[in-house]
């Protein structure tokens, strides 16, 4: 019998937030179904309910017309469901075999672990998917992409009938994405129900059969992938036609003096990098994975040691020994990995926004709570951060709202930011919020801030930046003005040795 998964009027509320409001749709065997929506649309909450990490307040999940109650992830797994999150759920110090059989070791008739069966089954699955890894290889030594393949093999070994992916390509190269898509198509052809969550519309059109669009916790519509287009999806997600995102940008056209000058910078990862940034200018950095863009910014921010060369801020040579030195001089960094390097996830929005200025918020020997609240509320209002209170922990926010918290931190009235470095600021956020971020970048430039904008999406960096600097293998290979830049010309420079 072909498997059928049904969500029937599923609802979920958190304090001050209605996360899911009567979600109903059906997914069938042999189909890849996309869950698409803006940050905060309810996608992650729905997956957590499917995985047993959360309980729905109302409504039912039906598998083959049978009501399923998942009180914990074990119940979900037992019912044939596997959810593969962005963060790997693997033990890096254990082998591929041990991870695939984690919590479910086969025993022979004498009660001993049947290692021969484990090895044979693991090798069979590796061969089926055509992966260049060994059963006994330590998972921690595999690339992020192949760790994800181990997650898929684990689900396949369990004979999961329903496999859901949450933003699976966020940390993968194009070549690794192709491998992942091949595996997903294999799972579909084997009769699995595949749920696929991504903000990348190009991927949705490549790998899915149907698209379920969510907005503000509600099911908007279900579309056949081959019968829709990008504009229809964006309108359904955002609730309005956002038109040509880039043409609608209100840009800055007046540059000031040079605020940042980098001359012949050398670190362990970059070589002889030189460029200038003017007040009110947006300088974009493009390049393939490993080009050295992030490493340049870490050196400027005082996070990595500079071996030679010089960094000038406002015409004065600086030597930042730590990020604190850079922050004190007016340099701010929104890092590529916002969860790992940019936020204290278990602390509140208020704490994260006030983090660099706590020393300015004292009343005597104690912190001025009213001043903190005022600053945090101001940032929440300015960036339309979706939250019922500034006391909410940032781990509860969507990716887009987490990014806005970091922006709110560095552009508060208590910080005189002269240079704002944005490293992959739209990574993992939806198209509607992306449009907001693009305009924010232009607004920062209008305020006289020099902005460095790093993006792996060529279309994005070409259309947002005034000047594009292209890197390859730790070197700058070319500089192009926006009016002359094309994807082809930038890519050619990005691949130039």
0.85 exceeded by pTM: no
Q: Cα–Cα–Cα angle for 205, 211, 214, nearest 5°?
A: 125
CA distance 91 to 154: 13
Which CATH number is associated with domain 4-238? 3.40.50.300
- The residue whose two tokens read 């130039």 is 496
DSSP assignment letter at 378: H
For 195-206, b/e burial (b = at least 16 CB within 10 A) is bbbbbbbebbbb
- Give me the architecture of the 258-494 domain, per CATH: 3-Layer(aba) Sandwich (3.40)
Which pLDDT score, from 0 to 100, does residue 403 have?
A: 87
CA distance 360 to 418: 19
Query: Rounded to an integer, what is the distance from CA 165 to the centroid of its chain?
Result: 14
Which pLDDT score, from 0 to 100, does residue 356 have?
A: 86
Burial class (CB in 10 A: 0-12, 13-18, 19+), 99: buried
CA distance readout (Å), 80 to 157, 166, 435: 11, 17, 39
Average pLDDT, the chain: 89
Low-confidence residues of the chain, pLDDT below 70? 1, 16, 171, 240-244, 497
Sketch the domain layout of the chain as residue ranges: 4-238, 258-494
pLDDT digits (tens, 9 = 90+) for 353-372: 998 888 888 777 788 888 89
DSSP assignment letter at 444: H
For residue 372, give the nearest of 358, 386, 387 by alpha carbon. 358
Q: What are all long-range contacts of 381-390, with beta carbons under 8 Å and residues at least 24 apart?
A: 382/408, 382/411, 383/407, 383/408, 383/440, 384/436, 385/349, 386/17, 386/40, 387/16, 387/349, 388/15, 388/16, 388/17, 389/16, 390/348, 390/349, 390/350, 390/353
Which pLDDT score, from 0 to 100, does residue 497 have?
A: 60
- The residue whose two tokens read 């907001």 is 436
Q: Judge whether 4-238 and 258-494 match in fold.
A: yes
CA distance readout (Å), 305 to 250, 268, 272, 323: 37, 8, 14, 11
Which pLDDT score, from 0 to 100, does residue 206 have?
A: 94
Residues in CB range of 221: below 8 A, 6 or more apart = 213, 236
Which pLDDT score, from 0 to 100, does residue 97 have?
A: 93
Q: How does DSSP assign 202-253, residue by residue?
A: HHHHHH-SEEEEEETTEEEEEEEGGG--HHHHHHHHHSS----TTTT-----
pLDDT digits (tens, 9 = 90+) for 249-298: 889 988 999 999 999 999 999 999 999 999 999 999 998 777 899 999 99
CA distance 349 to 351: 6
């Amino acid at each position: 019998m072909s498997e059928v998964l049904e969500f029937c009027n599923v609802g979920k509320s958190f304090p001050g937030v209605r996360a899911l409001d009567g979600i109903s749709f059906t997914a069938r065997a042999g189909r890849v179904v996309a869950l698409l929506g803006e940050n905060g649309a309810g996608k992650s909450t729905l997956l957590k309910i499917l995985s047993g990490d959360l309980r729905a307040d109302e409504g039912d999940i039906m598998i083959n017309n049978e009501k399923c109650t998942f009180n914990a992830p074990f119940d979900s797994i037992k019912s044939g469901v596997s959810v593969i999150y962005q963060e790997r759920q693997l033990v890096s110090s254990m082998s591929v075999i041990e991870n695939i059989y984690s919590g479910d070791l086969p025993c022979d008739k004498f009660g001993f672990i049947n290692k021969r069966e484990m090895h044979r089954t693991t090798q069979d699955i590796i061969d089926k998917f055509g992966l260049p890894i060994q059963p006994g290889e330590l998972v921690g030594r595999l690339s992020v992409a192949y760790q994800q393949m181990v997650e898929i093999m684990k689900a396949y070994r369990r004979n999961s009938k329903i496999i859901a992916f949450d933003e699976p390509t966020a940390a993968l190269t194009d070549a690794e994405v192709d491998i992942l898509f091949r595996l997903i198509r294999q799972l579909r052809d084997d009769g699995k129900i595949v749920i696929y969550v991504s903000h990348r519309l190009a991927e949705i059109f490549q790998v899915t059969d149907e698209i379920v669009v969510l907005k503000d916790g509600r099911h908007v519509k279900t579309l056949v992938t081959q019968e829709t287009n990008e504009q229809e999806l964006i309108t359904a997600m955002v609730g309005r036609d956002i038109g040509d995102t880039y043409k609608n940008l209100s840009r800055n056209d007046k540059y000031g003096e040079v605020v940042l000058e980098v001359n012949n910078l050398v670190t362990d990862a970059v070589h002889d990098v030189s460029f200038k940034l003017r007040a009110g200018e947006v300088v974009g950095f493009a390049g393939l994975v490993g080009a050295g863009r992030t490493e340049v910014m870490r050196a400027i921010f005082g996070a990595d040691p500079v071996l030679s060369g010089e960094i000038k801020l406002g015409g004065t040579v600086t030597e930042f020994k730590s990020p604190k030195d850079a922050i004190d001089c007016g340099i701010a960094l929104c890092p590529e990995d916002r969860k790992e390097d940019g936020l204290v996830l278990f602390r509140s929005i208020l704490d994260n926004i006030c983090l660099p200025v706590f020393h300015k918020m004292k009343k005597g020997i104690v912190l001025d709570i009213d001043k903190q609240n005022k600053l945090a509320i101001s940032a929440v209002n300015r960036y339309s951060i979706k939250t019922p209170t500034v006391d909410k922990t940032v781990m509860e926010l969507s990716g887009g709202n987490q990014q806005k918290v970091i922006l709110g931190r560095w552009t508060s009235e208590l910080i005189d930011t002269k240079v704002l470095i944005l490293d992959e600021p739209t990574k993992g956020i939806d198209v509607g919020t992306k449009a907001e971020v693009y305009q924010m970048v232009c607004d920062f430039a209008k305020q006289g801030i020099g902005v460095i904008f790093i993006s792996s999406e060529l279309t994005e960096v070409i259309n947002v930046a005034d000047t594009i600097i292209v890197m390859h293998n730790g070197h700058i290979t070319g500089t192009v003005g926006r009016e002359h830049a094309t994807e082809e010309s930038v890519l050619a420079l990005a691949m130039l040795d």
